[in-house]
Structure 1
Amino acid sequence: MSRLRGGGPASGRGRVPLNPRAGFQKPAAKDVSGGVSSALLKQAMRSGQLNLSNRELTTVPDSVWRINIDVPEEAKSVSMDKTEDGWWEQTDLVKLILACNKLQEISNDIQQLPALTVLDVHDNALTSLPPAIGELLNLQRLNVSHNKLTSLPTEIFKLRHLLTLHAEFNDLTAVDEGIGEYIHLEDLNLSHNKLTTLPYTIGQLGKLKTMNISENQITLLPSTMGLLKAVRILEASNNKLPEIPTEVGDMKSLEQLYLQHNVLTALPLLRACISLKELHAGNNRIVVLSPDHLEHLTTVNVMSMRDNKLNEIPDEIINVRSLQRLDLTNNNISSLPNKLGTLTSLKSLVLEGNPMRGIRRDIVSRGTQGILKYLRSRIEEEPSTKDATDGPSASDPSSAMGVVAAVASKTLDYSNKKATEVPVTLWEPAREADVAVVNLSKNAFTQVPPNLILLSKTVTELNLGFNKLSTLSVELQMMVNLVHLDLRNNAISNLPSEWTTFSKLREINLSYNRLKEVPAVVFTWTQLENLILGDNQIGIIDVPSLKKLPKIASLDLQNNDIMQVPPELGNLETLRSLQLGGNPFRTPRPAVLAKSTAALLAYLKDRIPT
């Protein structure tokens, strides 16, 4: 049998080699309990912090509760030659992290750690907290989130020095009035529970800066919310709130307000929220965004009103000068105020899901800056400042100079005056001058000036656009020489059937009115070449009637309510310009509409059933 050098026997299978240094090595650190080593506890004694997260713990070892009490093993054999790491230099435990384990309870022995300032037990299976937690009078930060707590013990409200309380993702159904004792609390998170209301004492949290009560079933907020003068962020989304108390408008430090996914029908008046930067109120039932609301939102950068029932945006939106993002997705908005275009800070305007009639689809597709540019282009010119002198002015129609200025070169121009009627001093001079062009646009007429009939024999061009006309005078039938008629931007829903006398009319502009169909009288004007009907509420294209217009060359039906384009429209061979964008029909597709009129007509003609 062969032997190894030195006379020892050869190593056989299964035999463990001898360790020649075994008698000189310190034994390995022994697990005290549940995977917590003595070395880890020793380190915690020096640092005052113990992190036992993610250790699959089902209970907390007794050695953890007694860490400030038990004398370390080395203290039993103190050597004067070894002074480092002396047990007498031990620090009381101030931070204990037990997160992400499988703890079902916390022992009352926790009271043996009175120096704790931070306790984190989130992500466990706790159904209750021990009453002894109230003995941790130095506690400043408590995290009990992501457990199964149904209530908080009343003793917890003895923790008067608490700065942070996180209890989100539990099964809490109520919060005790004792929460008002947290006069130093700065951060409160009660989200993702089963709360239906909050105690009135919540208003006593005078130093609270962040409050999250989202994802509950809250139907009522206490009026004492208005006392929370230090709150900067209020997150109350995903509840069942039908209204917000007006006192919330007194939260003067509020910077971010989240109210989305409730059942609100109106916003609160945020009258004192002078620091508000973000307002999120989407997914509610809000019908009106009133000028009163906008008056107090001058500092807002982000406003989300998506998925509500808004019908319009008032001109006062321009008061929100700092607005950078405005989300109006999925409302009932058909047009935007032109003054919105003056908000130079606006970088994002989201309009998808609205029945936009006031802006063509191709303009909306250009993005925010394209829309704003379009709106700016439609802002009416302000009337010129009157002459400050006491003498007669060229803008004064009662003076000789004013008459000459208004009636010149066979034109009566009394436009852009914001007037409700035409001065009587202008009619006779206009009649004597045989005026052919009358421009009364950009005023505030609610009816056609009756004296206009005095010019019926000579007028060929009449502009009554940008007024407030809802009905039109039958007597205008006497203007048999009309060639051009401009009635855009009024409130017209029909035309008098007696206007069949307009046998010379070649162009009529009826855009931006309230027509639901093309007035029947239009199809009697056999000389008509240009028919402009954009931005109304017209629902069908009456091809048989359009065929009665043998000279029709331009047809504008943009931004109406047309659901279907009849292929027979392709047979109108006189058409040189056909505008159909901005309607809810699916075919022709936008790519086809973007092509030339000839290509569009050919596309339609190819689809006529044989």
Structure 2
Amino acid sequence: MSRFRRGGMTGDPRAGFRDQRDKEPAVPQGLINSARKSGQLNLSGRGLSEVPASVWRINVDTPEEAHSNVQFDASDRWWEQTDLVKLFLSSNKLQSLPGDLKLLPALVVLDVHDNLLTELPSAIGELVNLQKLNVSHNKLKLLPPELSQLQSLKSLLIQHNQLEEIPEALGQLADLEELDLSNNNLRNISGCFGGLTHLGRLNLSNNKLKALPTEISSLKSLRQLDCTSNLLEDVPASLAGMDSLEQLYLRQNKLTFLPEFPNCKRLKELHVGNNQINTLGPQHLLHLSCLSILELRDNKLKSLPDEIALLTGLERLDLSNNDLSSLPSSLANLQNLKSLQLEGNPLRGIRRDLLSKGTQELLKYLRGRIPEPKSEQGEASVITAMTMPSDAVVNSHAIATLKTLDYSDKQAPSIPDTVFSAVGSSPITIVNFCKNQLTEVPPRIVELKDSVCDVNLGFNKISTISLNLCMLLKLTHLDMRNNLLASLPDELEALTRLQSIILSFNRFKTFPDVLYRIPTLETILISTNQITSIDPLQLIKLTKLSTLDLRNNDLMQIPPTLGNCESLRSLNLEGNPFRNPRAAILAKGTAAVLEYLQSRIPT
């Protein structure tokens, strides 16, 4: 007991330990010591409502160890090693940053994303060595003009805040290479952006922009421009002068025509889906010969010009959910085309079963409608260039030129090793193993995971999807129709780029839950199974889903809340035993069905 009296503890002997615990710093001293030596301090996800002063003064205050008489080797004198250059404070509860931030002038990286910040201190302008600043996922409404002093800044991430305007000073960041302003409340962008001559990536998606400034054409280094989900009715003609532009995203706006790009000679991807484009003329296609992806889904196109054949480099063409009633035969001349999406169009003259056989079969059909060349020499050259001996194991021309690994319609029980060996170092993007007798996903398909984006395993006898397939993380299109599947593995949700999946003619009795967890899905074809119910509350979360085919299943009822899935442009329910909606309503199309279902939601 005398021990407690000497410590002044005449009451509860545990009180002193509680006081000591309450005074413990939120940041362990060991982390501070390590940061002094490494120059990096990671305090992410620690529930901090404020940052201890010792962090801001880490380069200023001399630690107690430095004043002791204990001798240290040079390698042990951690307080003299280096200034703090990287500070990570993400996923905390910080509402503000103090002016003491200026005490860390050597900072190169400052990450405070996912906090509660409503403003940034003017002192941030004194971090003159800063190269990367991440303040995304906060509550910022304004940016301080002092940002213009960060002349070394290369990456500025401000997405998911509440910004309504951008200060002119931002245009002075001449070395900026990446700027993300997505998911804010921006209504206009000033001409100051013209000064960002080194900018390579600009993300303006999910704002309220009605126009882009003409000065944007000054961004001669810009390679990627994302304006998805705004209110754009037009884009400035000066946009055509951005000769470094490779990827342009204009999805979910109010465009009524496709812009012209006479000088964008490097443009490889053009995404203009979910607009109101009703006309596509030759003038829109003349200068897009380098285009590899053209996405025009969910528009109002009624026809395609024969000049579509000018897009000689096109590999993917998405025309889903338009008003196309016919296709030009010139499509067959697109020799590099690997994926042609046509779901949701009122096509006439082309059998539905032909559309379901895939891109190559459709192109073959269209090619048959092209008049034969009159020149015998020309005809011979076509045969020589485009055909291979019938006994060849694999088409080496398709591997090298079309980046396609095709071993289809062989009725083979397995894929020979020689097929995969023929790939070598070629970056295969399309795999077609349909119409065989496969009972499993070929294990060696995982060898193609770094490049493959389209896999067709339809018309086989596969009963389970292996984890090898779930490792193809770049996969965007998966065709598993006409197999023996009854379920999908949870690991399939790792395919975070998957846009379309075809599961028709299998043995599903329930709608696969994992599909609800793949938010990138735009097309789900799962007709002719035995599905008895769907969960519309989960489907609503698939905000990009525009095509859903549930024909010929065992749905006894259609939940009225399915009507809230407003992203759906094509919903097919025919051939199910439900009584409502009646056939007369189904015949009126998707919009009428959704309106009917909404009217039946209890208020």
1:242 aligns with 2:225: no
1:334 aligns with 2:288: no
1:193 aligns with 2:217: no
Name the structure 2 match of 1:548. none
1:144 aligns with 2:147: no
Name the structure 2 match of 1:368. 359
Name the structure 2 match of 1:113. 104
Bigger CA radius of gyration:
1
Counterpart code for 2:262: R
SS at match of 2:202: strand
**C-alpha separation in 2, matches of 1:94 and 1:259:** 38
Name the structure 2 match of 1:269. 260
SS at match of 2:308: helix
Q: Deviations over 1:474-496 (max 9, x none)?
A: xxxxxxxxxxxxxxxxxxxxxxx
SS at match of 1:303: strand
Name the structure 2 match of 1:86. 77
1:65 aligns with 2:56: yes
**C-alpha separation in 2, matches of 1:347 and 1:125:** 46
Matches within 5 A, 1:184-583: 184-382=175-373
SS at match of 1:96: strand
Counterpart code for 2:320: T
Match of residue 154, structure 1, among 129, 145, 149: 145
Q: TM-score, normalised by structure 1?
A: 0.57
**C-alpha separation in 1, matches of 2:225 and 2:188:** 15
- Between 353-362 and 302-311, the greater mean CA deviation after superposition: 353-362
User: Do the aligned partners of residues 321 and 69 (structure 1) sit closer, same or farther apart at CA in structure 2, a change above 3 Å counting?
Assistant: same
**C-alpha separation in 1, matches of 2:81 and 2:21:** 20
User: Do the aligned partners of residues 87 and 369 (structure 1) sit closer, same or farther apart at CA in structure 2, a change above 3 Å counting?
Assistant: closer
Gaps of 5+ in 1: 1-15, 17-28, 386-583, 590-610
**C-alpha separation in 2, matches of 1:107 and 1:191:** 26
Match of residue 171, structure 1, among 162, 165, 173: 162
Report the alpha carbon displacement of residue 142 of structure 1 after superposing the two structures with TM: 0.2
* Contact kept in structure 2, 1:75 and 1:87, CA below 8 Å: no
User: Do the aligned partners of residues 31 and 181 (structure 1) sit closer, same or farther apart at CA in structure 2, a change above 3 Å counting?
Assistant: farther
**C-alpha separation in 2, matches of 1:54 and 1:34:** 16
**C-alpha separation in 1, matches of 2:573 and 2:114:** 52
User: Do the aligned partners of residues 585 and 142 (structure 1) sit closer, same or farther apart at CA in structure 2, a change above 3 Å counting?
Assistant: closer
Report the alpha carbon displacement of residue 203 of structure 1 after superposing the two structures with TM: 1.4
**C-alpha separation in 1, matches of 2:135 and 2:52:** 19
Report the alpha carbon displacement of residue 362 of structure 1 after superposing the two structures with TM: 2.7
SS at match of 1:151: coil
User: Do the aligned partners of residues 123 and 373 (structure 1) sit closer, same or farther apart at CA in structure 2, a change above 3 Å counting?
Assistant: same
Name the structure 2 match of 1:97. 88
**C-alpha separation in 2, matches of 1:101 and 1:38:** 19
Report the alpha carbon displacement of residue 213 of structure 1 after superposing the two structures with TM: 0.5
User: Do the aligned partners of residues 276 and 78 (structure 1) sit closer, same or farther apart at CA in structure 2, a change above 3 Å counting?
Assistant: farther
* Contact kept in structure 2, 1:31 and 1:37, CA below 8 Å: no
Q: Deviations over 1:523-550 (max 9, x none)?
A: xxxxxxxxxxxxxxxxxxxxxxxxxxxx
* Contact kept in structure 2, 1:30 and 1:37, CA below 8 Å: no
**C-alpha separation in 2, matches of 1:32 and 1:230:** 52
Q: Deviations over 1:428-484 (max 9, x none)?
A: xxxxxxxxxxxxxxxxxxxxxxxxxxxxxxxxxxxxxxxxxxxxxxxxxxxxxxxxx
Counterpart code for 1:301: S
SS at match of 2:225: strand
**C-alpha separation in 2, matches of 1:373 and 1:87:** 70
* Contact kept in structure 1, 2:246 and 2:268, CA below 8 Å: yes
User: Do the aligned partners of residues 33 and 118 (structure 1) sit closer, same or farther apart at CA in structure 2, a change above 3 Å counting?
Assistant: farther
Counterpart code for 1:348: S
Report the alpha carbon displacement of residue 114 of structure 1 after superposing the two structures with TM: 0.8
**C-alpha separation in 2, matches of 1:199 and 1:78:** 60
* Contact kept in structure 2, 1:186 and 1:209, CA below 8 Å: yes
Q: TM-score, normalised by structure 2?
A: 0.58
**C-alpha separation in 2, matches of 1:125 and 1:324:** 44
Matches within 5 A, 1:48-59: 48-59=39-50
**C-alpha separation in 1, matches of 2:93 and 2:158:** 17
**C-alpha separation in 2, matches of 1:257 and 1:32:** 54
* Contact kept in structure 1, 2:94 and 2:117, CA below 8 Å: yes
Report the alpha carbon displacement of residue 258 of structure 1 after superposing the two structures with TM: 0.7
**C-alpha separation in 1, matches of 2:78 and 2:60:** 11
**C-alpha separation in 1, matches of 2:81 and 2:46:** 25
Counterpart code for 1:100: S
Q: Deviations over 1:78-102 (max 9, x none)?
A: 4346544225633111111110000
Name the structure 1 match of 2:466. none
Gaps of 5+ in 2: 1-12, 14-19, 377-571, 578-603
Count of matched residue pairs: 364
User: Do the aligned partners of residues 34 and 311 (structure 1) sit closer, same or farther apart at CA in structure 2, a change above 3 Å counting?
Assistant: farther
Counterpart code for 2:282: P
**C-alpha separation in 2, matches of 1:32 and 1:42:** 19
- Between 271-280 and 140-149, the greater mean CA deviation after superposition: 271-280
**C-alpha separation in 2, matches of 1:69 and 1:586:** 73
* Contact kept in structure 1, 2:228 and 2:252, CA below 8 Å: yes
Counterpart code for 1:351: L
